[in-house]
Structure 1
Amino acid sequence: CDFIYTETLAEKLSAVSPTPFDAEIKALTYTRSTPVGGITAELAAPPVDADGTTGCEPGDYAAGAFTGKIALIKRGGCTFDAKQEQAAAAGAAGAIIYNNIDAGYGPLSGTLGDPATVKIPTAGLSKPDGDRLAADLANGPVTISFEVRQLQETRTTRNVIAETRGGDAASTVALGAHLDSVKAGPGINDNGSGAAGLLDVALKLAKKEKQPRNKVRFAWWSAAESGLFGSAHYVESLTPAERQKIKLYLNFENLASPNYGLFVFDGDNSDG
């Protein structure tokens, strides 16, 4: 299947005045990119409503107050994508969305959802750093240097699917593991361990003289960390009748973790 591959190339934010400091940011997935070296501009912030929402409506952006500036927007009330769209419509050159809770693990991260709707460079910031910039801005102009660049290109990826020759196809047991990893964690575990473990099960099952009653299908999913594209494409390619034949799915994930867990999903997404 084809999917949009993203890779972050630069994430930098520095307050230039009145009080210089550096802050860690995260490029939101599908952000537009600044020029190499970034942009330097003043901040502008929409007011935070009583219910904690901000930057979700055109009326949050005073006419002319955001033109050429970088919008500093607090999380809450609407999607990150909606916030950057409203900021862009008000003339902002970029958007920084800061968390509304002190998560304790760095800057806000997430996705803008649809590359087609993204208008301006957009990044996430932690609540402490966002509050600091907002407090400075309340006392006067704040100028920052902001660089966020992200490679985005359409790529083609493929799943690897294998199944036993025999077994009841009307009662198929599926086992799967994703093949890709992320920079933030050790790929040998997430998910080299799952992919290798699944392969070992397949090889051992093939050598058994007595084969299982059910058909067993093995799947190595591609582009999972980019948005579950491989597995989603596979499921969407099945007819309703073919989906009904899969009676059980076992997911092999992070098998090398010392604090492993066994989890059961209800399958109807009621757990969110």
Structure 2
Amino acid sequence: MHVAVLLFAFALTGTTLALDNGLMRTPPMGWLAWERYRCDIDCENDPKNCISENLFMDMADRLAEDGWKELGYVYVNIDDCWSSKQRDDQGRLQPDPKRFPGGIKKLAHYLHNRGLKLGIYGDMGKLTCMAYPGTPLDKIELDAQTFADWEVDMLKYDGCYSNAMEQELGYPLMSKALNATGRPIGYSCSWPAYQGGLPPKVNYTQLGEICNLWRNYGDIQDSWDSVLNIVDWFFENQDALTPAAGPGRWNDPDMGEHRPCPVPSPLNRPCSGPEHS
């Protein structure tokens, strides 16, 4: 099986204050489902590739058994399309019962027993980017506590179907709500990506105080043009981005792909880039 192991962020040094949760003192590394599996929910016809607990358990096994965990790849992150289309009778988010029959807490225990951490996805708007229930302002405290009750270790908080005012209120509120649960949960904000990524619209001092990780720019796609476009943007704007980052607070240029080589690579290093499958 080929495994795309994803580097969530790279280290850029800086001097601003970090979110005071003690997490992500180095850039978080692990595996994220989105680039490869997107929103495949057809478990009946595509059981090996659909967004389900089986997929994430399998990837946890690969990180734990194939040597990736020892290199620092410890996060297994769920992206969009994991939930039911409706909240439960108490108003809480709930996983799709057919694709996650054991629930998210059971999945978290599966990872924790292997020395790994579980990440989950939410969205600032009423809907996620793929039209599943989001976490708008009036649901932030409830959903933060739900994630803590499930024993997740990281939240990626997207921004589809939200406006600038909601984002200005919601991203700091989610940081406060996560901390209030008492469970250490790494916090990845998509806020700057929705505001153009640069000052003065983006306040990187504030981001360093409320987020461990933040998406600066657009989504990466499975092409070298996309990769190079992101690299160029970070290179051209490094004077604004570099001072923002440091232990516990990281710029996130989106996923970087590392796949096994079809033949041994120089120095036995893993191949990189979408041309390798």
TM-score after normalising by structure 2 = 0.30
Greater share of residues in strand: 1
Structure with the larger RCO, 1 or 2 (CA within 8 Å, 6+ apart): 2
The higher radius of gyration belongs to 1
Greater share of residues in helix: 2
TM-score after normalising by structure 1 = 0.30
